[in-house]
Amino acid sequence: MIAVPAVDVSGGRCVQWVGGLPETERVSLPDPPAVAARWWRKGFGTLHVVDLDAALGRGDNRALVRELIARTGAVTQFGGGVRDREGIEGALAAGADRVIVGTRAVEDFAWLTRAAAAFPGQVVVAADMRDGKVLRRGWTRSSDTTIEDFLAALDDLPVAGVLCTDVAREGRVQGSDLERAGAVIRASRHPVWMSGGISGLDELRRLGRAGAAGAVLGMALYDGTLSVEAVAREFGG
């Protein structure tokens, strides 16, 4: 299993929000490409980059994201407002290795099927959840679909993997729900990256033993709860 630092971009800055809410911003750094370069130098071989403004439909940070991706040699997965073929092509052209799709994947399964076929092994499905239900529209709206049912529907698609974020725990650094994480991992035949509340090395080890392909880390790395050096040494990949 690998640990993947999150570089979330909003308003030209690298930020960390609690529960996906802009008004709860607790980290704001002025140079996202420099942040990405720092994670790369520390020993992390994969980065998770999200354009939060694009995800929320209030502009984008495309030029900055392109610069960010070019700054390191890391494997980069990018998401945020990718809702059509052109968005996937644009992200790949910008240098992303994998492209994360969320809202459109949840709302339009026929489109997801076509996208996965057109870009096999390059599309990651964001299965964001709260209380076991899949979310959409930048975490602002719930659906009636359970996370297990959604993951089962992906079984035959040639996607690169699934990113599952427990939004209720996101940014709170209070620990992840390991029992639910295990159920999510078992529900998918694809590689699963987990995110949301992870705050300890033992949690990372337990996620690895449960079969997670990776863990996306945000607030716990930025606020020092997790030792950057220790995580990179054991899980940097």
Residues with catalytic function: 8, 128
Distance CA 162, CA 190 (A): 7
Distance CA 6, CA 93 (A): 21
* Cα 75 to the center of its chain, rounded Å: 13
Distance CA 208, CA 31 (A): 32
Distance CA 89, CA 81 (A): 13
217, 48 contact by CB (below 8 A): no
- The DSSP line for 158-212 is --SEEEEEBGGGTTT-S---HHHHHHHHHH-SS-EEEESS---HHHHHHHHHHT-
Tokens 């308003």 sit on residue: 11
Number of Cβ within 10 Å of residue 30's Cβ equals 9
DSSP character at residue 11: T
At residue 131, the 3 state secondary structure works out as coil
Please list the residues that pair with 28 across neighbouring strands: 15
At residue 153, the 3 state secondary structure works out as helix
